[in-house]
Amino acid sequence: MELDSCFNLAMRKSSRLITQFYEHKLSAVGLKSGQFSILRAIFHTKQSTNKELQTILMMDQTTLSRSIKPLFRDELIKFNPDPVDGRIKLISLTKAGRKLYGRALPIWEWAQQDICNILTDNEAEKINSLSESFVKTLGRK
């Protein structure tokens, strides 16, 4: 089997390249691509639990905790106790977090458009389809 026949290597190579592409764009507002993804998930859920974010982002607890620490430190997200179960912490964006997300969103949209301009419609559909297939199949394990 050739080196490029490894699914793990193929996905990691493309993942590194796409991450570098988005991080270059998002550096204008001081965000890494993973941080933007977390802010985006919280923005769309309004407030979320750690467990919900893990599911949305397909991240394990340790990685998510490590990733949200700088967002909390920089006062972009906040934790509040769940009114029903005080043991559960609800994560939401602060005013500064919403503002930064609002500044980053057009940059992310431009990056999305740049990718669409590079790929054909068929290539973009294949990438999205393959990604969904991996998440659906491997996300259950």
Does the residue 20 lie in any domain?
Answer: yes
- Annotate 96-121 with b (16+ C-beta within 10 A) or e (fewer): ebeebbeebeebbeebeeeeeeeeee
Could you tell me if residue 71 is inside a domain?
A: yes
Which stretch of DSSP H or E encloses residue 4?
none
How many domains, in total, are found in the chain? Answer: 1
Rounded Cα–Cα distance for residues 50 and 47 (Å): 10
- The residue segments making up the domain with residue 90 are 12-138
- CATH code at 30? 1.10.10.10
Which tokens sit at 117?
Answer: 């301009």
Residue 125, phi then psi, degrees to nearest 5: -65, -40
**pTM to 2 decimal places:** 0.87
Q: What secondary structure letter does DSSP report for 86?
A: T
pLDDT in tens, the chain (141 residues): 565 578 888 888 888 999 999 999 999 999 999 999 999 999 999 999 999 999 899 899 999 999 999 999 999 999 999 888 888 899 999 999 999 999 999 999 999 999 989 988 899 889 889 888 888 888 765
DSSP conformation class of 119: S
Q: Give backbone dihedrals phi and psi of 94, rounded to 5 degrees, phi first.
A: -85, 175
81 inside domain: yes
Q: Is residue 7 part of a domain?
A: no
pLDDT score, position 128: 87
- How far is the first Cα of the chain from the last one, in angstroms, to the nearest whole number? 25
C-alpha distance from residue 141 to each of 6, 53, 58, 129 (Å): 19, 18, 12, 19
